[in-house]
Amino acid sequence: MNAVLHRPTTPAEAFELLERPDAMVLSGGTAIQVLLKQGLIAATDLVDVARIPGLAQIHRADDCTRIGAMVSLRQVETNPAIRAAAPLLADTCGRVANPRVRNTASVAGNIAHGDYRLDPPTALMILDATVHLASARGTRDVAAREFFVGFQATAVERGELIIGITVPDQPAGSSHAYAKKSSLGENDWPSASAGALLVGAGSGTSRRLRLGLGALAPVPRFVEIDVSGLDRAAAVDAARSVAEPLLDPIPDIRGSESYKRRLGLVAVADAVTEAWR
Ligand X SMILES: Cc1cc2nc3c(=O)[nH]c(=O)nc-3n(C[C@H](O)[C@H](O)[C@H](O)COP(=O)(O)OP(=O)(O)OC[C@H]3O[C@@H](n4cnc5c(N)ncnc54)[C@H](O)[C@@H]3O)c2cc1C
Report 69-88 residues binding ligand X (CB under 6 A). 69
CA atoms within 13 A of residue 103's CA, in its CB half-sphere: 3
112 binds ligand X (CB under 6 A): yes
Residue nearest to ligand X (CB): 109
Residue 49 or 201: the one with the smaller Cβ distance to ligand X is 49
114 φ, ψ to 5°?
75, 10
**In the complex, minimum distance from the CB of residue 28 to ligand X, in angstroms, rounded to a whole number:** 3
25 binds ligand X (CB under 6 A): yes
3 binds ligand X (CB under 6 A): no
Residues near 191 by beta carbon (within 8 Å), at least 6 away in sequence = 181, 182, 183, 215, 254, 255, 259, 260, 263
Report 145-164 residues binding ligand X (CB under 6 A). 156, 161-162
29 binds ligand X (CB under 6 A): yes
Pairwise CA distance, residues 51 & 55, whole Å: 9
Per the CB < 8 A criterion, the answer to whether 176 and 195 are in contact is yes
CB burial readout 238-277, b (16+ within 10 A) else e: bbbeebeeebebeeeebbeeeebbebbbebbbbbbbebbe
Q: What single DSSP character describes residue 35? A: H
**In the complex, minimum distance from the CB of residue 44 to ligand X, in angstroms, rounded to a whole number:** 13
Residue 29 or 218: the one with the smaller Cβ distance to ligand X is 29
Residue 126 or 199: the one with the smaller Cβ distance to ligand X is 126
Residue 270 or 276: the one with the smaller Cβ distance to ligand X is 270
**In the complex, minimum distance from the CB of residue 187 to ligand X, in angstroms, rounded to a whole number:** 7
96 binds ligand X (CB under 6 A): yes
Residues that bind ligand X (CB under 6 A): 24-32, 34, 49, 69, 96-97, 101, 104-106, 108-110, 112-113, 118-120, 156, 161-162, 189
